[in-house]
Structure 1
Amino acid sequence: MQTNKTVVITGAAGVLCSTFAFDLAQKGMNVALLDLNVTAAQKVADEINKKGGKAIAVEANVLEKESLEKAHEIVKQEFGTCDILINGAGGNNPKGTTSSEYFLKDDMQDENLTSFFDLDPKGIEFVFNLNFLGTLLPTQVFTKDFIENNKGNIINISSMNALKPLTKIPAYSGAKAAVSNFTQWLAVHFANQNIRVNAIAPGFFVTNQNKALLFDENGNPTARTHKILAHTPMARFGKPEELLGTLEWLVNEEASSFVTGIVVPVDGGFSAYSGV
């Protein structure tokens, strides 16, 4: 793996992407941590720098091109042009989520429940924008460096939801499916520019966003956790560091130079299991 490269990571303050940042910094890369929560990103950058790595935290809104352009200029001033872009920003919203897994007529009469017919178009729009546009816009901004250098590497973060839509979260599942599709489209579009585009589709990992759905206030597994683990042949959640082997392979120009347009599941067998 070549060192002294500059990697830009969006959503970098999150559990998974901060793990990516630590790992790549240890490999000798310059890491720019982009996040709307720049305070959280700065804490990660400080830890990386304390351990001898090179990292900066940059405030950026992945839904605003002007914000991304400003972040791009900061990265260029500090580290030079971008070599690797990891699109990790994303998430869900309660307004794009149903209360029940299966539709029941009585749900339409219960004001405390959100049925399919109650889904808020604005909430669904937000989820699609955050995941899809939040991948497209940073790519538009930072891949200009790739065109200039005639070389580049994009890694998008998709999800198991893209392959097997989970109950209750149609907006997030659809948005991540769009990310996977976009990964394939972009890989073809940029193929003759020496730019590779791939994605990682994590299975189930405990993050700040989903922790409350997976464990109750006492730390006990919820019913949804039991269902998830029952459909994961390895019968456990993944650990963030278990994504690093796939990440390191995809960023390594020698090891994966002929790999583009793929979505790699890292899921403990979830995508292979039919449920019976």
Structure 2
Amino acid sequence: MAGELNGKVALVTGASRGIGAAIARGYAERGALVVGAARSTDQLRELEATNPERISTATVDLRDAESLNSLVDLVVERHGRIDILVNNAGVAPAADFATEPIEQWRTTFEVNVIAPMTLAQAAGRYFIPQRSGKIINIASTTGIRGKPGLVGYSTSKGAVARFTEALAAEWARHNIQVNCIAPGAFATDAQSAVLESPDLLHRRVRRIPAKRMGDVSELVPLACLLAAPGSDFITGSIFVIDGGESGKL
């Protein structure tokens, strides 16, 4: 609904493309001021151009704790406050677990787990005194049910889900809501190998009761609900959006 986020300020990571870009645009369309953060400067410029009055951007290294803390401060410097944090950025390296190097696990956890925790802590320094704040973590259905070939990624996204639940319980007394969206198969750049192969796409879609992959726009309404005042009694929840795939026997 247009205007449901009027006056709100949001930080969205991984905003250069896919789910993050869709959420950033959706928030701006509903009245929020948005800072979209990612590594890709060129794609961030494209995002900013879609709504320059409401979307600004920042380049960030998610493995640098100092940069993450500075990023939250930057949002407040630009807009005077921060109300919403969307931890969307992530990496999903596919590998054979038997030979996957420990350095790759570290990178996966630094980006997928430590960065969201660091940003949440930094945002909390503003949320707690103002007694309001929304944190929306983007996990994955592979964090609920493990997937072969993605052991490190699945484990990291499982950690994101548990982080959501634990922080929600700890910060509920401050009127801060922490929730998680766990997408299934969505048509994004991360799925390019599947989308570009008719055989792989057929096999992937066959496992989804809805018989199609999701479009990133279909995540936006839920992300907006969880950012809006109407969700103040929703916290510690994990919302699966996967066309029914994880609900099958």
Q: 1:71 to 1:39 in 2, by over 3 A?
A: farther
Cα distance in 2 between the residues matched to 1:169 and 1:222: 21
Residue 221 (structure 1) aligned to one of 194, 198, 209: 198
Instruction: Say if 1:231 and 1:273, in contact at 8 Å, map to a contact too.
Output: no
Q: Which residue of 1 aligns with 2:14?
A: 11
Distance 1:2 1:208 in 2: 28
1:83–1:146 contact (8 Å) kept in structure 2: yes
Q: Does 1:165 align with 2:165?
A: no
Alignment match, 1:191:
172
TM-score w.r.t. structure 1 length?
Answer: 0.85
Q: Percent identity?
A: 28
Verify the 8 A CA contact 2:5 2:27 in the aligned structure 1.
no
Residue in 2 that maps onto 1:43:
46
1:73 deviates by 2.9
Deviation of residue 130 (structure 1)? 1.2
**Partner of 1:85: helix, strand, or coil?**
strand
Q: Please, which runs of 5 or more residues in structure 2 have no aligned partner?
A: none
1:30–1:55 contact (8 Å) kept in structure 2: yes
Q: Distance in 1 between matches of 2:237 and 2:76?
A: 29
Residue 38 of structure 1, CA deviation: 2.8
Structure 1 contact 62–137 (Cα < 8 Å) conserved: no
Q: CA deviation at 1:74?
A: 2.3
Q: What code does the residue aligned with 1:162 have?
A: G
Which amino acid in 1 is paired with 2:24? A
C-alpha RMSD of matched pairs (Å): 1.4
Q: Which residue of 2 aligns with 1:26?
A: 29
Distance across 2 between alignment mates of 1:126 and 1:35 = 16
> Are the equivalent residues in 2 in contact too, given 1:90–1:134 (CA < 8 A)?
no
Rounded to whole Å, the distance in 1 between the matches of 2:88 and 2:188 is 13
Find the residue that maps to 1:118 and give its secondary structure: coil
- How many Å apart are 1:147 and its aligned residue? 1.2
1:257 maps to what in 2? Answer: 232
The answer (yes or no) to whether the contact 1:31–1:56 under 8 Å persists in 2 is yes
Q: Once the two structures are superposed, what CA deviation does each residue of 1:15-41 show, in whole Å capped at 9, x if it has no partner?
A: 111011111101110000111223321
Deviation at 1:222, TM superposition (A): 4.1
Structure 2 residue identity aligned to 1:244:
V
Query: Is 1:235 aligned to 2:211, yes or no?
Result: yes
8 Å CA contact 2:188, 2:216 repeated in 1? no
Which segments of 5 or more consecutive residues in structure 1 lack a partner in the other structure? 99-115
Contact 2:65 2:115 survives alignment (8 Å)? no
Correspondence list, 1:61-80, <5 A? 61-80=61-80
Query: How do 1:88-167 residues align onto structure 2 when only pairs under 5 Å count?
Result: 88-94=88-94, 97-98=95-96, 116-167=97-148
Q: Is the 8 A contact 1:9 1:85 kept in 2?
A: yes
SS at match of 1:190: helix
Q: TM-score w.r.t. structure 2 length?
A: 0.94
**How many residues are treated as equivalent by the alignment?**
246
Shift of 1:220: 2.8
Q: Tell me the distance in 1 between the aligned counterparts of 2:155 and 2:236.
A: 19
Q: Residue 269 of structure 1 aligns with which residue?
A: 244
Q: Which is higher, the Rg of structure 1 or of structure 2?
A: 1
Partner-residue secondary structure (3-state), 1:233: coil
SS at match of 2:213: coil
How far apart, CA to CA, are the structure 1 residues paired with 2:125 and 2:25? 25
Post-superposition Cα deviations, 1:73-124, rounded to whole Å, max 9, x if no partner, equal: 3222211111000000101124xx12xxxxxxxxxxxxxxxxx321211112
Checking the alignment, whether the CA contact within 8 Å between 2:68 and 2:115 is kept in structure 1 is no
- Partner Cα separation in structure 2 for residue 210 and residue 134 of structure 1: 23
**Residues in 1 aligned to 2:72 and 2:237: alpha-carbon distance in whole angstroms:** 27
